[in-house]
Amino acid sequence: METLDQIKSRLTHALLGARLEIVPNESPSSQRSLLVDSEHARAVAQWLRDDPELCLDYCSNVTGVDWLEAVGKTKIKKTVVVDGVEKELEETVDSLRSGYLEAVYHLFSMAKKHGPVILRLRTENRTDKNHLPSLTPVWHGCEFQEREIFDLYGVVFDGHPDLRRILMWDGFKDHPMRKDYVEPDDYEYEPTPHDAVLEKAKKHQAQEAKP
Q: Each residue of 22-52: pLDDT tens digit?
A: 999 988 888 999 999 999 999 999 999 999 9
For residue range 150-161, list pLDDT tens digits in order.
Answer: 999 999 999 999
- Out of 79-88, 102-111, 136-145, least confident range: 79-88
Where is pLDDT greater, at 211 or 190? 211
pLDDT for 184 equals 75
Task: Give the pLDDT band (50/70/90) at residue 191.
Answer: low
Q: Domain 4-65+102-177: give its CATH superfamily.
A: NADH:ubiquinone oxidoreductase Nqo5 subunit (3.30.460.80)
Domain ranges of the chain: 4-65+102-177, 181-211
pLDDT at position 145 is 98
Residue 187 pLDDT grade (very low, low, confident, very high; cuts 50, 70, 90): low
Burial (0-12, 13-18, 19+ Cβ within 10 Å), 44: buried
The per-residue pLDDT for range 69-78, each reduced to its tens digit, is 988 777 788 8
Asked if pLDDT for residue 208 goes beyond 80, the answer is no
Once rounded to an integer, what is the mean pLDDT over residues 71-94?
80
Is residue 193 predicted with pLDDT exceeding 80?
no
Q: Which has the higher per-residue pLDDT, 153 or 183?
A: 153
Tell me how far apart the alpha carbons of residues 19 and 11 are, in angstroms, rounded to a whole number: 10
Whole-angstrom Cα distance, residue 158 to residue 38? Answer: 10
**How many other C-beta atoms can be found within 10 angstroms of the C-beta atom of residue 81?**
8
Rounded to an integer, the average pLDDT of 77-93 is 81
More confident residue, 7 or 197: 7
Task: For residue 200, count other CB atoms closer than 10 A to its CB.
Answer: 17
Residue 143 has pLDDT above 70, yes or no: yes
Per cent of the chain over pLDDT 90 is 68
| Global confidence as pTM | 0.83
**Residues 46-72 as b or e (16 or more Cβ within 10 Å = b):** ebbbebeebbbbbbeebebbbeeeeee
